[in-house]
Amino acid sequence: MIKYHLHHLRELEAEAIYIIRETAAQFERPAMLFSGGKDSIVMTHLARKAFYPARIPFPLLHVDTGHNFRETLVFRDKMVEEIGARLEVRYVQDSIDKGRAREEKGPNASRNVLQTVTLLDALEELKVDAAMGGARRDEEKARAKERFFSHRDEFGQWNPKNQRPELWMLLNGKKHMGEHFRVFPLSNWTEMDVWMYIQLEKIAIPEIYFSHEREIILRDGVLLANSEYIMKKDSDLIETRTVRFRTIGDMTCTGAVESPASTLSEIIDEIAVSRVTERGTRHDDKRSETAMEDRKKVGYF
């Protein structure tokens, strides 16, 4: 390695910390979205590094679909206690009960889309003016054009045709009353970078990322964890397999992969030779070719 040259994980780390600090400095009430998935765990870790020895100066916000993996919630509560962070949880179930959101019906029903309603309501209630998310540009084509600081109008909507140019590292967070920003500190990270960084920094992650035996529903080539939240179809095959999760979201739309990988290095080796993208296991993206772009425009992350 050349002297005075950062290797790429440290450069990505420095960039993300810069963005998180900018967010804390430029906005009055920032919040960090926390889903319990690896990207939000890495982002939380970076926030700790950014302000250490002080505590993270903004709350973590979890939009709970009610269909989470139990392991994710256990992990979340333990982590929050350890790092002394403030956690706000808002429930999709409450939005449904209040008639703000309507539950989807049928075997493919998911609360993934409904999250947006709860999220936007929570941002308004908590008066959040900058919501940081762990989304990465490599995940999906609609995300490839996101800025670090992404402006949203008063309806929380994204207008991909009229984004502010982002030059050098000069981030413009100026806004009118009622508008807010989405901020993406991990924009330039890839799935591989996230895993390598977890290994480098020895960051704890929920155990369901590692290989385990589980009862799954085999549907349209996707392996869904069997749970009471999924209405079964006649064509579904229910079997026990050795699986792990590459991404963690709502149980109704997060697919598992068959894998014996039980350590971080085994996961990294597996991803390096993988021929399918990580969102290839996401049922929510398979709804249509523009599923992500359509959701983002109305305020999804």
Partner 1 sequence: MSDFSSEGYMNMELLRFTTAGSVDDGKSTLIGRLLYDSKQIFEDQLEAIEQRSQQRGFEHVDLSLLTDGLKAEREQGITIDVAYRYFATPKRKFIIADTPGHIQYTRNMVTGASTANAALILVDVRKGILEQTIRHSFIASLLQIPHLIICVNKMDLVDYSEEAFSKVVEEYRNLSTKLDIKDVNFLPISALKGDNVVEKSTNMPWYHGSTLMYLLENLHIGSDENHIDCRFPVQYVIRPQQTEYHDFRGYAGRIVSGIYKPGDKVKILPSGETAKVKTIELFGEQITEAYAPMSVTMTLDRDVDISRGDMIVRENNVPSMEQEFDVMICWMNANNLQVGGKYAIRHTVKDARCVIKDIRYKVDINSMHRNEQDKEIAMNDIARITVKTTVPLYFDSYRKNRHTGSIILIDEATNETVAAGMIV
Q: Which residues bind partner 1 (CB under 8 A)?
A: 1-2, 4-15, 17-18, 21-22, 24-25, 48-55, 137-138, 141-142, 144-145, 160-161, 163-170, 172, 174-176, 187-188, 190, 192-193, 196, 199-200, 265, 268-269, 272-277, 280, 289-290, 293-294
The rounded distance, in Å, linking the Cα atoms of 44 and 49 is 9
- By CB neighbour count within 10 A (0-12 exposed, 13-18 middle, 19+ buried), where does 242 fall? middle
- The closest of 37, 15, 34 to 281, measured between CA atoms, is 37
Closest to partner 1 by CB, 95 vs 187, is 187
Min dist CB 4 to partner 1, Å, is 5
CB of 30 to partner 1, least distance (A): 12
Cβ-based nearer residue to partner 1, 50 or 63? 50
**What is the closest distance, in whole angstroms, from the C-beta atom of residue 300 to partner 1 in the complex?**
15
Q: How far is the CB of 122 from partner 1 (least distance, A)?
A: 24
What number of other Cβ atoms are within 10 A of residue 55's Cβ?
A: 13
Query: Biggest alpha carbon distance in the chain?
Result: 62
Distance CA 240, CA 291 (A): 30
Q: With respect to partner 1, which residue has the nearer C-beta, 121 or 139? A: 139
Nearer to partner 1, 49 or 100 (CB): 49
Q: Whole-number minimum distance, CB 93 to partner 1, in Å? A: 32
11 or 125: CB nearest partner 1: 11
Would you list the DSSP string of 248-289?
---TTTBEEEE----SHHHHHHHHHH--S-GGGGBTGGGG-T
- What contacts 183, CB < 8 A, 6 or more positions away? 19, 23, 30, 130, 131, 132, 133, 148, 149, 150
Query: If we measure between CA atoms, which residue out of 283, 284, 282, 252 comes closest to residue 191?
Result: 282
Do residues 62 and 89 touch, judged by C-beta distance below 8 A? yes
The residue (of 107 and 280) whose beta carbon lies closer to partner 1 is 280
Q: How far is the CB of 107 from partner 1 (least distance, A)?
A: 22
